[in-house]
Structure 1
Amino acid sequence: MTDELGLRERKKLATRRALCDAALKLALDDGVAALTPERIAEEVRVSPRTFRNYFSSKEEAIVAGLQDRAHEVADNLRRRPAGEPIWESLRAVLLPSLENSMPGHDLMQLLGLIRCHHALLAEHLTSFEELSRRMTEVIAERTGTDAARDLYPRLLADASGIALKTSLGLWSTGATGRSLADIFGEALDLLSKGIPAPAAESGPG
């Protein structure tokens, strides 16, 4: 039964990824305005109903890859060694996520689409909100803080998100001649020098 469920989940993930890849490819090739959920479904050879089981709109499907990677980053952060300093853990999970996200040309084109379409921008911002929420939870676990009460995990998660957003914006201009990972690595270095980790709370006496 477990193997059957595992196979079913893998098939669902494969269908979602195929729809996401098709939506992005068609949006880059033909433009967002001409794209429809039916066209995306046709490209993957599934029904429009299947598309709606995974995504509520074409815009959500186009940026879904970014949202999925937000989940992966948080999961990878949770798996880092328990005693590793939080900034080292962030660097270890965030930089590879940028390098492995998608081909640089496609990512730059996607960011260009996002800047030009308000609905895509809204979905893109949602992905950053989701990344921040999940990162806050994991950072709180790793630093012994409370995600609901303490400022530190929220501040660190939001600061990392802003660093990523700023790095993406600078890199997408093409003016620096630097890789996205290099720019973002510098951003993390700058942040790590200005946000000291909280002192560990002493236990009850």
Structure 2
Amino acid sequence: MSPQNTRRFRTAKAIQASAIELAIQDGLANVTTEAIARHAGISTRTFFNYYPYKEAALMGPPPDYPPEASEKFVTSKGRLIDDLGDLIAAHLKRYLNEREMIGQMLSLSDSDPKLDALRNSAMLARRAQMRALLHRRLPGSDERLVEILAAAIIAATNAATKDWVAGTRDDFIAAAHENLSLILVAAEMLGTPSS
């Protein structure tokens, strides 16, 4: 990441932290973009250079997969599950110091329909990114299989995130790796007769 992009990302994260802090403290309905900007130590104009409205600020910058790790995943010749674990670890390690903030954001989105819709939209965007990475890694693969796999990967990482912020799992990356391995177990279940 270039110095300018790093600075921009830090500012976006500072705005997000201010938005979440104010929403927890005063209630989301009582928070304004002006209050968020003031709390973050920026102008309202600068706020709008980063986010179009307060709910977007609460969600923070798009949680895209890291470009370098994504390229490594696409070009690797190792086992897909192992390379996927490396990609997800690189993605999640950027959030290890944000456990409380992510938990607060998830809690806020559970009680606000607009924020919940933004969270769902972010998950769909990540799924589309994963689908694109899988297509690049596995050219010519059945579209349906790629779509199903991308959805399972996102479900696995989302479940790990919820467990981690709830405190039921302390190691975020290990939880994600375990959930990714459950995709193989789930696939085997489809061929097993019910008892």
TM-score (norm 1): 0.75
1:91 to 2:80 alignment = no
- SS for the counterpart of 1:103 is helix
Tell me the amino acid that sits aligned with residue 54 of structure 2: K
Q: Say which structure is richer in helix.
A: 2
Determine the structure 2 residue equivalent to 1:200.
none
* Equivalent residue letter for 1:50: T
Structure 1 residue 150 displacement after superposition: 1.6
Give, in whole Å, the separation in 1 of the partners of 2:38 and 2:183: 45
SS in 1 for 2:60: helix
Q: Structure 1 residues 178, 21: CA separation in 2 closer, same or farther (over 3 Å shift)?
A: closer
Map of 2:175 onto structure 1:
183
- Of residues 15, 35, 46, the one that matches 1:19 is 15
**Residues 106 and 15 from structure 1, CA distance in 2 versus in 1: closer, same or farther, beyond 3 angstroms?**
closer
Identity %: 22
In the alignment of these two chains, the number of paired residues is: 185
**Following the alignment from structure 1 to structure 2, what is the Cα–Cα distance between the partners of residues 82 and 142?**
8
Counterpart amino acid of residue 135 in structure 1: M
- Structure 1 residue ranges without an equivalent (≥5): 1-5, 197-205
Within the alignment, does 1:106 sit opposite 2:98 as a pair? no
Distance 1:8 1:166, change over 3 A: closer
In structure 1, the partner of 2:144 is 151
Deviations 1:16-40 (A, max 9, x none): 2332232223223333222111111
Unaligned runs of 5+ in 2: 189-195
Please say if residues 169 and 175 of structure 2, whose CA atoms lie closer than 8 Å, have aligned partners that are also in contact: no
> Cα 1:194–1:73, aligned 2, differ >3 Å: closer, same or farther?
farther
Q: Normalising to structure 2: TM-score of the pair?
A: 0.78
